[in-house]
């Protein structure tokens, strides 16, 4: 209801004002008079809240708006008035600032009513405190500037009504920085734009991402909270609730607010509230036993002793918030406590002030609430109340700076040097233009200026409420915020010195969901704010290396995520190495095969003149043994880290050496067949396949394989290759074949020779001879072909290094098959059955036993 009445009052007030040729008329109706005043060459007006409450005095009053009755004397307005008087007296006594020009003042009471604020502003502008609407508006603008209003709602209404005159000391609403709506408004207190962001950064600093908020339901609270909400959103902070509150709310409405707070899970409350709203909330919270919340406050109440005194039950214990930085104005404190300027400036105001201060009365009237008679000699030094409390000295300083801003602007406009040639106030619009550009230093060294929005630079102290040993609140400075610094340096807090809610030394936790550790990412819960989330582990190959990651990063292709998914580590490189068990076993078998072949070679060389060695073509046998030794040794090129040379050598050496082996076996098989044909009457076939032809056949068969390998190496040779597709978590370092056609051509040619050798040996297996080598060749070729036929599917299906192992196994198995099938029976006879190593046995002359 109060909001509706206030709105109607403002509308009616403005409708009843008229403006003609730059002059103004006052409101028709009940007269208004300044609380404090003094004449001067140039007058500065002010609007303060001498009373904190108002009510309609007479509902039957015929003139609209009806008069109001002011109640609840507020000592803060008298402190502001004293500050203003002090600044004006100081300027009037200065020989360097406005020399020869005296400043006067008129200070009005807005009675905490927006409508009254507009009304007295019009009275200040026009000088018509009690004019009739029919009276012509001929007076010039009465005051050069107006200091005030105190609160944003009233300042907005006044700024829309009186034009280029207002300088507020306490109106912080961000909306007043909009120069399209309020082109003439300036202030000496920072905008809530900065305060809202400072609060949001402070909340983020302590890790609170899930907070509640309560705001005064007016321009100050609503606009301030809107700015805070926007800044909080940018910093990843969520509001569980944002509730309006006003002192005139019904009990039912207040109960709904209390119920919502009780049902909430956040433990931090941001209070964008006026001090009287906070005072009431403290009592409401106590009544409903709501304690333990961490409060975050604005400059409007965080250093207000009235709120602190009411909080006898530690409702707001440990609160932190922003305050205007402490400033020093030499002599101001003593001047404020000297009440003689008040007495001389306004007798009626001083009388009410004195009676309220000492709770006495000068005239014993029935309506007086005090029974003690004032003597006028009461001692102010014996009191301790809101007037003697100097905690709002930073706000007093804002009033002081506002007066000096007006004086410095006038000093320039009036052309003052040794004296001021002009002693009358300047045109309002010219004055405003120069006021926006004024820049000066106070006597205590503080730099004062306005930015393009009419705001001063934003600096705040960070305050913490702490209980003293006497169980009294102490406002402890724990840090500061300066908007002119870089984003990373704006906020400085001494966390160790903070006492939190419930007298705790630990920072309270207020989150919807606990932070997601590295290795996980946040997944917002459906239908809830972004601060409520689940922690999802990163997938394989992805990591998050910081807390509360919103997504996981993919590792580069040569890297893989560790088990905790918080770091990309180099992928394990897999190849068949000499250090692992399989590599050691295969190396050992290869070396054993080569040594066994060398031993057999030595045996054959030692017994090269015996019939069994001579009968089986000793030259091809030695060449076969040499090639088998190379076969066993070439398998070693498949073990170890693949390189460009090893990849080219392993397959080409293997192909050429195996062809050499098979060529020797094929030559021996042909020799057996030719030898049988040579025993037939009239056959001279051996002369066509003697030792020279045997050597040429081996050379020819081998050269064909060499040619295939050369073509392969020339067109698309094998090369080392990182296989990233076979396994996600490791790299297979292998030899790419380059040309598959080349590889399979090499294998196909070996297979062709082996098949030819097998067929010929098979045909010769039953030739009449006691030691027919064709039988052993047939068996060896059978093993050879079986090994390489099974090799193909095994090679294709084996993963990673096992592909190489299968190839080595095939080489070794076929090598051992040739070695044992062809040479082991001969060694058996040479060493263990020497009696069979005779020409007769070889020629079949002696029956075999």
Provide the pLDDT for residue 849. Answer: 42
Q: pLDDT tens across 579-605, in order?
A: 888 889 999 999 999 999 899 888 888
Closest CA to 830 of 621, 595, 675, 594: 621
Rounded to an integer, what distance in angstroms lies between the CA atom of residue 142 and that of residue 185? 18
Q: Is the pLDDT of residue 669 over 80?
A: no
- Lowest-pLDDT choice from 155-169, 362-376, 698-712: 362-376
Residue 552 has pLDDT above 70, yes or no: yes
SS3 at position 459: strand
Query: What average pLDDT does this structure show over 405-416?
Result: 93
pLDDT tens-digit profile of 64-121?
556 677 888 888 899 999 999 999 999 999 999 999 899 999 999 988 888 888 888 8
DSSP 373: B
Judge whether residue 10 has pLDDT over 50: no
CA distance 767 to 764: 6
Of residues 78 and 7, the one with the higher pLDDT is: 78
* Whole-number Å distance between alpha carbons of 357 and 240: 43
Of residues 62 and 90, more confidence is placed in 90
Cβ pair 356, 383 in contact under 8 A: no
**Residue 519 has what pLDDT?**
93
Predicted TM-score of the model (pTM):
0.65
Q: 581-843: which CATH topology?
A: Rhopdopsin 7-helix transmembrane proteins (1.20.1070)
Mean per-residue pLDDT of the chain: 83
Q: pLDDT band for position 848 (50/70/90)?
A: very low
CA distance 169 to 79: 13
pLDDT of residue 1: 37
When pLDDT is cut at 50, 70 and 90, the band that residue 773 belongs to is low
Burial pattern 616-626, b for ≥16 Cβ within 10 A else e, equals bbbebbbbbbb
**Beta-carbon count within 10 A of 672 CB:** 24
Dist CA 144 CA 21 (whole Å): 17
CATH topology assigned to domain 192-323+458-503: Rossmann fold (3.40.50)
Quick one: pLDDT at residue 413?
Answer: 92
Section 302-328 average pLDDT? 88
Within the chain, all domains assigned CATH 3.40.50.2300 are found at 2-189+332-446, 192-323+458-503
The confidence score (pLDDT) of residue 29 equals 52
pLDDT recorded at residue 373: 86
Please provide the distance, in angstroms rounded to a whole number, between the alpha carbons at the two ends of the chain.
132
Residues whose CB falls within 8 Å of the CB of residue 592, separated by 6 or more in sequence, listed in order: none
Q: What's the mean pLDDT in 766-781?
A: 67
Question: Residue 6 has what pLDDT?
Answer: 41
Banded pLDDT at 222 (limits 50, 70, 90): very high
Dist CA 179 CA 283 (whole Å): 39
Percent of the chain with pLDDT over 70: 87
Evaluate if residue 267 carries a pLDDT over 90: yes
* Phi-psi sector, 527: left (phi>0), alpha (psi -120 to 50), beta: left
Rounded distance between C-alpha atoms, residue 403 and residue 524, angstroms: 53
Distance separating alpha carbons of residues 608 and 620, to the nearest angstrom: 12
Segment (H or E) for 297: strand 294-297
The set of residues, in sequence order, having a beta carbon less than 8 Å from that of 11 and lying 6+ positions away, is none
**What is the tens place of the pLDDT at every residue in 601-654?**
888 888 887 877 776 667 788 888 888 898 888 888 888 888 888 888 888 888
Q: Are 720 and 643 within 8 A, CB to CB?
A: yes
Region 2-189+332-446: CATH code = 3.40.50.2300
Q: What is the pLDDT of residue 60?
A: 54
The residue ranking higher by pLDDT, 758 or 11, is 758
Of the pLDDT bands very low, low, confident and very high (cuts 50, 70, 90), residue 135 is: low
**Residues carrying CATH 1.20.1070.10, the chain:** 581-843
CB atoms within 10 A of CB 663: 26
CA torsion sign for 291, 297, 303, 305 is negative
Structure token digits, residue 42: 């140039």
Task: For residues 709-728, give the mean pLDDT.
Answer: 85
Confidence band of 3 (pLDDT split at 50, 70, 90): very low
Look at residue 27 in the predicted model and tell me its pLDDT.
46
- Which whole-number Å values give the CA distances from 205 to 496, 509, 513, 742, 830, in the listed order? 14, 12, 17, 67, 92
Nearest residue to 234 (alpha-carbon basis) of 265, 212, 201: 201
The stretch 349-361 carries a mean pLDDT of 87
**Mean pLDDT across 184-205:** 92
């Amino acid at each position: 209801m109060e909001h509706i009445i206030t709105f109607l009052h403002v509308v009616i007030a403005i409708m009843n004002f008229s403006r003609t040729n730059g002059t103004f008329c006052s409101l028709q109706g009940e007269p208004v008079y300044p609380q404090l005043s003094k004449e001067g060459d140039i007058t500065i007006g002010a609007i303060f809240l001498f009373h904190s409450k108002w009510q309609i005095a007479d509902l039957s009053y015929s003139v609209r708006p009806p008069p109001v009755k002011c109640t609840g004397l507020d000592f803060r307005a008298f402190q502001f008035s004293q500050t203003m008087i002090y600044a004006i007296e100081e300027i009037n006594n200065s020989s360097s600032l406005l020399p020869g020009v005296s400043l006067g003042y008129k200070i009005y009471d807005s009675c905490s009513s927006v409508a009254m604020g507009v009304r007295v502003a019009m009275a200040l502008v026009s000088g018509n405190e009690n004019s009739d609407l029919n009276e012509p508006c001929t007076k010039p603008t009465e005051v050069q500037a107006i200091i005030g209003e105190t609160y944003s709602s009233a300042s907005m209404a006044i700024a829309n009504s009186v034009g280029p005159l207002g300088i507020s000391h306490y109106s912080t609403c961000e909306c007043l920085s909009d120069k399209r709506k309020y082109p003439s408004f300036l202030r000496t207190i920072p905008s809530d734009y900065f305060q809202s962001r400072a609060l949001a950064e402070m909340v983020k600093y302590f890790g609170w991402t899930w907070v509640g908020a309560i705001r005064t339901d007016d321009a100050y609270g609503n606009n301030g909270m809107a700015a805070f909400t926007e800044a909080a959103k940018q910093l990843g902070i969520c509001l569980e609730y944002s509730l309006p509150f006003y002192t005139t709310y019904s009990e039912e409405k207040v109960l709904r607010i209390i119920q919502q707070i009780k049902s909430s899970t956040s433990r931090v409350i941001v209070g964008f509230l006026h001090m009287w709203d906070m005072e009431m909330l403290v009592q409401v919270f106590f009544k409903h036993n709501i304690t333990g919340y961490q409060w975050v406050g604005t400059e409007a109440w965080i250093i207000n002793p009235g709120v602190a005194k009411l909080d006898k039950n530690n409702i707001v214990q440990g609160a932190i918030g922003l305050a205007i930085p402490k400033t020093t104005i030499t002599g101001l404190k003593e001047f404020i406590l000297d009440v003689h300027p008040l007495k001389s400036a306004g007798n009626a105001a001083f009388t009410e002030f004195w009676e309220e201060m000492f709770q006495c009365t000068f005239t014993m009237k029935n309506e007086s609430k005090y029974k003690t008679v004032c003597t006028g000699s009461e001692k102010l030094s014996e009191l301790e109340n809101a007037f003697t409390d100097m905690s709002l000295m930073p706000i007093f300083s804002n009033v002081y700076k506002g007066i000096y801003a007006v004086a410095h602007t006038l000093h320039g406009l009036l052309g003052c040097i040794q004296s001021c040639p002009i002693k009358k106030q300047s045109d309002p619009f010219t004055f405003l233009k120069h006021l926006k550009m004024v820049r000066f230093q106070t006597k205590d060294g503080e730099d004062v200026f306005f930015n393009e929005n009419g705001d001063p630079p934003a600096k705040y102290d960070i305050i913490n409420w702490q209980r003293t040993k006497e169980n009294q609140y102490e406002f402890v400075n724990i840090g500061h915020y300066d908007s002119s610094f870089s984003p990373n340096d704006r906020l400085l807090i001494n966390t160790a010195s903070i006492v939190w809610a419930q007298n705790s030394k630990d920072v309270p936790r207020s989150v919807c969901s606990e932070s997601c550790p590295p290795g996980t990412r946040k997944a917002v819960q459906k239908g809830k704010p972004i601060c409520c989330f689940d922690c999802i582990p990163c997938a394989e190959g992805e990591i998050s290396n910081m807390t509360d990651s919103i997504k996981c990063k993919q590792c580069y292709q040569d890297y893989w995520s560790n088990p905790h998914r918080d770091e990309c580590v180099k992928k394990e490189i897999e190849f068949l190495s000499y250090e692992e068990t399989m590599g050691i076993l295969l190396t050992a078998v290869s070396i054993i095969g080569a040594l066994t072949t060398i031993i057999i070679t030595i045996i054959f060389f030692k017994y090269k003149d015996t019939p069994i060695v001579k009968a089986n073509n000793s030259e091809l046998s030695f060449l076969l043994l040499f090639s088998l030794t190379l076969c066993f040794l070439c398998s070693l090129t498949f073990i170890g880290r693949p390189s460009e040379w090893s990849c080219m050598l392993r397959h080409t050496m293997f192909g050429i050496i195996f062809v050499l082996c098979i060529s020797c076996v094929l030559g021996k098989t042909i020799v057996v067949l030719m030898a049988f044909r040579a025993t037939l009457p009239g056959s001279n076939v051996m002369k066509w396949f003697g030792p020279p032809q045997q050597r040429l056949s081996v050379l020819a068969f081998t050269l064909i394989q060499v040619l295939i390998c050369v073509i392969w190496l020339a067109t698309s040779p094998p090369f080392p290759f990182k296989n990233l597709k076979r396994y996600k978590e490791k790299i297979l370092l292998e030899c790419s074949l380059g040309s598959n056609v080349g590889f399979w051509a090499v294998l196909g040619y070996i297979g062709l020779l082996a098949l030819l050798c097998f067929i010929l040996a098979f045909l010769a297996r039953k030739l009449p001879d006691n030691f027919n080598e064709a039988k052993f060749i047939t068996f060896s070729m059978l093993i050879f072909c079986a090994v390489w036929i099974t090799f193909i599917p095994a090679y294709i299906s084996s993963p990673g290094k096992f592909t190489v192992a299968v190839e080595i196994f095939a080489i070794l198995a076929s090598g051992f098959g040739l070695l044992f099938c062809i040479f082991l029976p001969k060694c058996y006879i040479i060493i263990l059955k020497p009696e069979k190593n005779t020409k007769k046995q070889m020629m079949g002359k002696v029956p075999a036993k």
